[in-house]
Structure 1
Amino acid sequence: MANISTTKTVAPWTGMVPVDDTALHVTDTGGTGIPVVYLNGQFATQGYWRRVIAGLGTEQWRHITFDERARGRKSLRSKDYSFEAAVRDVDAVLAARGVDRALVVGWSYGALVAAHWAERNPQRALGTVLVDGAYPYDWLDDAMEERIRKLFKRMGWFTPLLRPTGITPRMSAAEQAESNIELGRLSRERVLGPVLDRIAVPTRFVVASGASFGSKGDEQEQIRTSLDAVTDRNANIQATKVASNHGAILKKDAPAVAAAVREIADVHHGER
């Protein structure tokens, strides 16, 4: 295990962290372990990580989770749901919890945020685990943009009914659609490829299999093929394929994600 844990015991904490025009609901397990910050899927919540966290335990790890703007039950709304806002939120949460260096784990949209944060902060990122996301592939075109807008518009009649449970975000259908479209633009090979090429810290992709909600045919499997060129170009990045699909990976393959976190810590230890 890497000797990168804190020397001061931090008490467990949960509360609100102000950032920009909003505030985020944050949970910190505390302790003296290696800080790990978890970045959620686009409209998911911190609760999705509970099986990964349980698999790692708290003796050697300090787990920091949070709900993004207008997600979950407590994080507040904002006028800015952009990708850059999501990256700023990582810094805001870490600063609020007094963490300078952390291992960053992201799933889906959170994987893209994690990749950008690690690339921009090589001295602060202990490493990153990217769970079925951050694939440099040109999947967005005009037809796909229209399909995305129609999908969120169709869901707009019932998603507000679920907001009190925290299952769906407190964002309009249009805001959710635009966020998804921005994701597509940022995922283009000419945009994301150079970001991944510049990552200078140990990085592990945990790659799902098959299709899931919102995809058709082998769309997702085709997107995942873009990772081959990434691992060929950057020796810091390796990938592991698992059996579950995109939506089930944090539930059914949580042990594989936890194993990737441990591997990153061990790689960091070996380079010291």
Structure 2
Amino acid sequence: MLIPTEDTALNVNDSGGSGRPVVYLNGAYANWKHFKPVIAALGNDEFRHITFDARARGKSKQSADYSFAAGLRDIDAVLAATGAERPILVGWSYGATLAAYWAEQNPDRIAGAVAVDGAMPYGLTGEEGAERIRQLFSKMRYLLPLVRPFGLAARMSLEEHIDVNIEINGIAAEMAPVLERITCPFRYVLATGSSLGGGEEEMEAARASLEPVLAVNSNLQIAAKVPSNHSHILRKDFAAVADAVRATASVTR
């Protein structure tokens, strides 16, 4: 179903039922379908699964605002439309950072969260970082329309893809205080495998950046480190993500 909000409409799927609501938050340009293996592993007896495509992703409509703040507001819009209360948020990559900020801002409205290789206080910042991102996306400009049908790119311009990436890198780099203030169970499932496209130095630095906040906030815990890489973690290690969701649910009942 399409849920109108602001200048757009979001494609939302709700399995219904009386189980614990789980809301899935996608990667930066991804659609909800990447979470299908996790949803299948969890089943419908204990959990109510709510998925949605962010603005200009999947079957959702385009917008004039693709900011991180808009992403946070869209979580509120989905919860209001579905009537779901005290959900577990499960976010992958960009979606994990959304889950962390929403959890910190709404401590009385969330049961817990699972961050899948995301929500780490590290990012490419400054003009040098922004230029690296611009160069990377410029190289991929002709690839974006080809991978869009597979849920790996958005119906955005090249410049909008770049802006989203520059913004999230800046937000992630400054998020350590946010992580330190989270009061709900917040579990990490981290990838360890190598990516064919490179970028492993940044990913390893990002994962290492978690150590200080894990030491400060006992609500943050690593549920699993898995052999797959950042791109394939939901497809190859969905069972570990499902286990983290179950563990989170067990401590929030």
TM-score range, shorter chain: over 0.9
Aligned partners of 1:24, 1:207: CA distance in 2, in Å?
29
Q: Secondary structure at the match of 2:134?
A: helix
Distance 1:241 1:158, change over 3 A: closer
Which entry has the higher C-alpha Rg, 1 or 2?
1
Is contact 1:196–1:230 with CA below 8 Å preserved after alignment?
A: yes
Matched, 1:259 2:243: yes
Counting only pairs closer than 5 Å after superposition, residues 57-76 of structure 1 correspond to structure 2 as 57-72=43-58, 74-76=59-61
Superposed CA offset, 1:94-150 (max 9, x none): 100011221111000000000011111111100000010011124334222112112
The equivalent of 1:238 in structure 2 is 221
Aligned partners of 1:219, 1:167: CA distance in 2, in Å?
20
Post-superposition offset of 1:54: 0.5
Post-superposition offset of 1:154: 2.4
Q: Which residue, out of 154, 164, 168, partners 1:179?
A: 164
The equivalent of 1:115 in structure 2 is 100
Q: Secondary structure at the match of 2:175?
A: helix
Counting only pairs closer than 5 Å after superposition, residues 163-174 of structure 1 correspond to structure 2 as 163=148, 166-174=151-159
Aligned partners of 1:255, 1:163: CA distance in 2, in Å?
26
Could you tell which deviates more after superposition, 203-212 or 135-144?
135-144
Aligned partners of 2:147, 2:115: CA distance in 1, in Å?
28
Distance 1:265 1:163, change over 3 A: closer
Is contact 1:105–1:114 with CA below 8 Å preserved after alignment?
A: yes
Distance 1:155 1:201, change over 3 A: same
Matched, 1:45 2:31: yes
The equivalent of 1:216 in structure 2 is 199
Matched, 1:30 2:13: no
Distance 1:213 1:93, change over 3 A: farther
Q: Which residue, out of 180, 184, 207, partners 1:201?
A: 184
The equivalent of 1:3 in structure 2 is none
Superposed CA offset, 1:132-187 (max 9, x none): 00111243342221121122222222423554665421001110011000011001
Aligned partners of 2:30, 2:39: CA distance in 1, in Å?
16
Q: Which residue, out of 104, 117, 129, partners 2:114?
A: 129
Q: CA RMSD in A?
A: 1.5
Unaligned runs of 5+ in 2: none
Q: Secondary structure at the match of 2:16?
A: coil
Is contact 1:36–1:105 with CA below 8 Å preserved after alignment?
A: yes
Matched pairs, number = 252
Matched, 1:21 2:7: yes
Distance 1:221 1:210, change over 3 A: farther
Post-superposition offset of 1:234: 0.3
Distance 1:145 1:127, change over 3 A: same
Unaligned runs of 5+ in 1: 1-14
